[in-house]
Amino acid sequence: MKLTDTSLLKQQCYINGEWTDADTGQTFAVENPATGEVLAHVPSAGADETRRAIDAARLAQPAWRARTAGERAKILRRWHELLLANQEDLAQLMTAEQGKPLVESRGEIAYAASFIEWFAEEGKRIYGDIIPPHHADKRVLVTKEPIGVCVAITPWNFPSAMITRKAGPALAAGCAMVLKPAEATPLSALALAELAERAGVPKGIFSVVTGDARAIGGEMCANPTVRKLTFTGSTEVGRILMQQCAPTIKKLSLELGGNAPFIVFDDANLDIAVQGAMASKYRNAGQTCVCANRLLIQDGIYDAFVEKLAAAVSALQVGNGADDGVTQGPLIDDAAIAKVEELVDDAREKGARVVCGGKRHALGRTYYQPTILSNVTPAMRLAREEVFGPVAPVFRFKTEAEAVAMANDTEFGLASYFYTENLARTMRVSSALEYGIIGVNTGLISTEVAPFGGMKSSGLGREGSKYGIEDYLEIKHVCIGGI
């Protein structure tokens, strides 16, 4: 790991503006998934440290809220600029702890920074309403106010962007936030805290607690001071957190699992579809919640599509993400590769054909070959479960109605994609798909300017865009009488 500014590598929690160890003094190791090298040790903090961070947030928030949105925006803009000024170091840290190719890490830092900039501006536009009253002697005012102390639990697949798209709107709105980053990728989170401090974010407004997920998460959910929990991760853990938040009725934002269909109709431009499938499926080695999980291809172009996709996949370079030219890094850990193997084996046993890949990569560790499976059917586990790896299962369909039914036949509803050159079909299918995000003739749908979030078991709430800040606000009605 080559850092120009070594003070970005932090090995302590950041609580109430102080760099601190766990009360027990215990730590855990952060490893590079590409090499197994131990990069750092960070504190194994638990409930007590979390409670202190929440208390500090409670004490700091009123003064932060009392500033004007413009004053908060100035600080957030500095944070944004510091992310960009340190883009290379932050990307090096990210690739080292997460494994994605450097070019993707650099892209994620720019994407992460974009949320801070966007919400710094959006915070200035938290408008209320004056509603025509129900009595002549009354006035009805509606204001939107920061919800208060927020907590965030984030995943390892986007170690920076999943944090900034929560912290950006929270801080812009006048809230304080305590964050628990994923165990695999705490270094990116701690570097963000260091830059927040340099930008002038006041102490207590943004704290980062690393350590035991259950202990930290348990305190975050149970603590009555916390008014909101925002989480990105698995549906399974989302359910647990929702239950744990029920006694204190916290507001929730949940970005959970997906099972994205990627539909290509006979009337699509095949080259554009293959390009989109590559971007959507193999980015981050298939480890994103919006990755195409099921490729649904219409009968007439099925063979041609598979052939073109195989040609594109053969150009992928597997290796250590820090090396030049690498386009696919390792999977995050042993459990991740074991799951990919299980799902591919299940499909193979039930009659899927391995077009390319289909096994671990010769590089060993958690490297998996970029894989395409054809003749995949709804009876296979891949139809229902998120593979979270570089495996493209290709299903066949005959009619538009069949494609829509297959696409919606899942408990999830995050991202979906379809390719067609027919305008009427574009309108019909985008209205029929039960998904929060739909990419039409594109495989890349994430941007700070648009709402990101899912339906059904994929979650609650939206992140990014003008809608994303609403999740951090309460609506207050002030009824003035006797006028």
Tokens standing for residue 135: 């009595």
Q: Which residue has the tokens 């200035």?
A: 124
In the numeric block, the tokens 């985008």 are attached to 430
Q: Shortest gap between Cβ of 209 and ligand ADP (angstroms)?
A: 11
Closer Cβ to ligand ADP, 182 or 414, answer by number: 182
Length of the chain: 483
- Which one, 32 or 232, has the nearer CB to ligand ADP? 232
- Tokens 């939206």 belong to 462
Contact residues for ligand ADP, defined by CB under 6 A: 153-155, 180, 182-183, 213-214, 217, 233-234, 237, 240
Q: Which is nearer to ligand ADP, 213 or 405 (CB)?
A: 213
Q: 41: which residues sit within 8 A by CB, 6+ positions away?
A: 11, 27, 28, 29, 30
CA distance 91 to 108: 8
| In the complex, minimum distance from the CB of residue 277 to ligand ADP, in angstroms, rounded to a whole number | 23
Point out the catalytic residue in the list 122, 255, 386, 463: 255
Q: How far apart are CA 119 and CA 171, in angstroms?
A: 9
154 versus 188: smaller Cβ distance to ligand ADP: 154
CB of 159 to ligand ADP, least distance (A): 10
Q: Quote the tokens at residue 347.
A: 């499909």
Least distance from C-beta 297 to ligand ADP, angstroms? 28
154 or 298: whose CB is closer to ligand ADP?
A: 154
We find the least distance from the C-beta atom of residue 163 to ligand ADP, in angstroms, to be 11
Q: In whole angstroms, give the CA distance from residue 143 to residue 477.
A: 7
Q: Is 266 helix (H, G, I), strand (E, B) or coil?
A: coil
> Measured between alpha carbons, how far is 109 from 113 in angstroms, rounded to an integer?
6
Nearer to ligand ADP, 257 or 358 (CB): 257
| CA 144 – CA 276 distance, rounded (Å) | 39
Asked if 188 and 161 count as a contact pair (C-beta separation under 8 A), the reply is: no
Closest by Cα among 102, 209, 203 to 152: 209
CA distance from start to end of the chain: 67
Residue closest to ligand ADP (Cβ): 217
Quick check: is 255 catalytic? yes
Q: At its nearest, how many Å lie between ligand ADP and the CB of residue 215? A: 9
Active-site annotation, residues: 255
